Amino acid sequence: MRTLAIIGSGPAGFYTAEAALKSFGDDVRIDIIDKLPTPYGLIRAGVAPDHQSIKAVSRRYDAVATDQRVRFLGHVCVGQDISVAELTALYDDVVLAVGAPHDRPLGVPGDDLPGVLGSAAFVGWYNGHPDFADLAPPLQAEAVAIVGNGNVAIDCARILAKTVRELQDTDIVNHALDPLSKSGVQRVHILGRRGPHQASFTLKEVGELGDLERATPVVREADFPPRETDASLETGQRRVVEVLRKFAAAGPDGAKPVSITLDFFHRPLRVIGDGKAEAIEVMRTRLDSEGRAIDTGETRTIPVGLVISCIGYRTSPVDGAHFDESAGRFISTDGLIGPGLWCVGWARRGPTGTIGTNRQDGFSLIERLAATPPAGNKAGRDGIDRLLSERAVKVSQFADWQRIDAAEVARARTGAPREKIVKIAEMRSLTG
């Protein structure tokens, strides 16, 4: 019997478990460990609340979690309640599927001022992650700067710009919807240090900017290279650029009071403010022959009361696993960190790709893992249960999550799929 501990119950963790069930059949027992009492990681706390169709993938994960060969051990913090070394002593294989939950620092003067937030915090706040429930972003600001040209930047801009009516039927938490409904935000600047050809947006996300009830995209035609150069782009990127060109040609819709300006070729220099963010100073950039952003020497100061940095994420280092500080992820050979210790998903390859990329990643990890004979004679479930019980760690099982789930669905506002519980103590009060 092969014993497998997967740390992290997001997409990478669940796809790895699904692959292990398929590969090992009856000859495997899997424990999925998460520090929260709730499963699904990024699906619950990262994917935008108005993208419910993406969140629906969690139903597929439920089939894995309720399989007899799988247990969910929630509210167990690896590194605190139990170490990675203890887990590798207990299980044949331990897989770190911990994602990349921390913001990459902006690294400019003033980035520690109140009103400067990372996307992990801002997204976690509107998605009801317990760590960010008390964030209270300064939404009285008339203007906001969002740094980065990826899909997370678009998610943040869209949530700031949508009306209550547009958000009502989503699972955005009330603690975010209420202040957003009274928000003073009129201008959102999405700052990209390079140009439209280099933006990391995908088609659906960029297209949605043109369909907002009260907000309009603003794109400058001068930021585009000659149209014939679009032919050199791969198809997905070419379509994104086509949409951006359409926005530029149409100009902003004057009937809409909120603008979302795509400020290409703007690199943040510093956040300015007396005790809080009041403006961001940026350097105008251009591309060098290698496609890198280089400074033009021309600067601009944009008054903003909130800065959200969406420039990528980092994994948490854990004792016993080599870590690449500059890349912010574990050092591995195709997912193998050391004997019996593996990593998968964003923890292996960094914060790139879609949810589905983690499926391929989980399945190919299990192929490699299956080619390695298990050490055998590991205490597995009996061992971890004994150890956690000695340490008085009260584990949340999947049935406990199902009770939380039912309570969230029951208290949803009209039209919404659920109202998330954001306090761990409240979740724990519902568990058996």
Question: Among 358, 277, 283, 337, which residue's Cα sits nearest to residue 10?
Answer: 358
To the nearest whole angstrom, how small is the minimum distance from the Cβ of residue 184 to ligand NAP?
Answer: 25
Question: Among 44, 72, 75, which residue's Cα sits nearest to residue 398?
Answer: 72
- Comparing CB distances to ligand NAP, the nearer of 37 and 148 is 148
- Comparing CB distances to ligand NAP, the nearer of 50 and 405 is 50
To the nearest whole angstrom, how small is the minimum distance from the Cβ of residue 26 to ligand NAP?
Answer: 36
- Comparing CB distances to ligand NAP, the nearer of 289 and 414 is 289
- Comparing CB distances to ligand NAP, the nearer of 152 and 422 is 152
To the nearest whole angstrom, how small is the minimum distance from the Cβ of residue 133 to ligand NAP?
Answer: 21
To the nearest whole angstrom, how small is the minimum distance from the Cβ of residue 55 to ligand NAP?
Answer: 11
Q: What is the number of the residue whose Cβ is closest to ligand NAP? A: 150
Backbone angles phi, psi at 309, to 5 degrees: -95, 120
Decide: residue 234, CB within 10 A, 0-12 exposed, 13-18 middle, 19+ buried.
Answer: exposed
To the nearest whole angstrom, how small is the minimum distance from the Cβ of residue 357 to ligand NAP?
Answer: 8
Question: Among 387, 383, 385, 342, which residue's Cα sits nearest to residue 365?
Answer: 342
Q: How far apart are CA 58 and CA 55, in angstroms?
A: 6
To the nearest whole angstrom, how small is the minimum distance from the Cβ of residue 385 to ligand NAP?
Answer: 36
- Integer CA distances (angstroms), 134 to 112, 128, 412, in order: 18, 10, 20
- Cβ atoms within 10 A of the Cβ of 279, count? 18
To the nearest whole angstrom, how small is the minimum distance from the Cβ of residue 310 to ligand NAP?
Answer: 5
- Comparing CB distances to ligand NAP, the nearer of 241 and 384 is 241
Backbone angles phi, psi at 249, to 5 degrees: -70, -40
- Comparing CB distances to ligand NAP, the nearer of 29 and 55 is 55
- Comparing CB distances to ligand NAP, the nearer of 294 and 393 is 294
CB 243 within 8 A of CB 199: no
Q: Which residues bind ligand NAP (CB under 6 A)?
A: 51, 147-153, 155, 192-194, 198, 200, 202, 205, 268, 310-312, 351-354
Question: Among 348, 371, 372, 375, which residue's Cα sits nearest to residue 360?
Answer: 348
